[in-house]
Copies of this chain bind each other. A is one copy, B any other.
């Protein structure tokens, strides 16, 4: 039975971290909200969110259905899928470490979101633009380097070599870091101009992931939407500045 991914159509968003892992593994999955037909489309997703009978009610997309199970939150979905997709360490303690890294990525992504929505998700960007400029400035000057420095150090600290964050094999954490690099470069081209120089191990990891055959095929497919100003990573020139 294929996995069912539930996430908004029209943007990469948080769902993209799940898609990339499923695609890399060549897993059989249905991107429910993006397909037509019965039990498909946004309505099918809203039906679960508003269900009066579902025991494991999700708070928000993305969520994953695997048979009867519903799993919510990106990090939780990846923690659950990791071993099944062969994208997690076999050692249980290492999987806990991977989960901690993914939760740091979760925090980073939330901060990226808040660069354009620092006041209210219920309001348009245009109505919070001045606060967004202030928050983006702080993000570029303090937060982005703090997070990237950390992940660069994690790679250098891996006793099995800096090619991966954990052990000798690719994990879902590595794939998520690829997406972080992609997203930051789209949203903040000026601030990220020196990323390759400043974060060589992250850059190398990004290239490793981007060159994996299934990822390459996915990125060229229609399933990979372009970044746009509906997603988490948004390019508004007025929020960007040199690092």
Contact = CB atoms under 8 A, between A and B. Distances in A.
A56 B100 CA distance: 9
Interface residues of A, number: 46
A142 B122 contact: yes
Nearest to A154: B57
B120 A134 contact: yes
Interface stretch (A72-80, A184-192, A220-228): A72-80
A138 B150 contact: no
A128 B120 CA distance: 15
A209 B107 CA distance: 28
A199 to B, nearest CB: 16
Contacts of A131: 118-119, 131, 134
Query: What number of copies of this chain does the assembly contain?
Result: 2
Contacts of A55: 157-159
A58 B107 CA distance: 13
A11 interface: no
A80 B69 CA distance: 21
Interface in A78-135: 79-80, 93, 96-97, 99-100, 103-104, 106-107, 110, 114, 118-123, 128, 131, 134-135
A69 B97 CA distance: 9
A171 to B, nearest CB: 14
B157 A138 contact: no
Contacts of A57: 150, 153-154, 157
Interface of A: 54-59, 69-73, 75-76, 79-80, 93, 96-97, 99-100, 103-104, 106-107, 110, 114, 118-123, 128, 131, 134-135, 138, 142-143, 147, 150, 153-154, 157-159
Cβ-closest 5 pairs across A and B = A72-B100, A120-B138, A73-B103, A59-B104, A119-B134
25 contacts: A55-B159, A56-B97, A56-B100, A57-B150, A57-B153, A58-B100, A59-B100, A59-B104, A59-B107, A59-B147, A70-B97, A71-B100, A72-B103, A107-B110, A118-B118, A118-B119, A119-B134, A119-B138, A120-B142, A121-B138, A121-B142, A121-B143, A128-B134, A131-B131, A131-B134
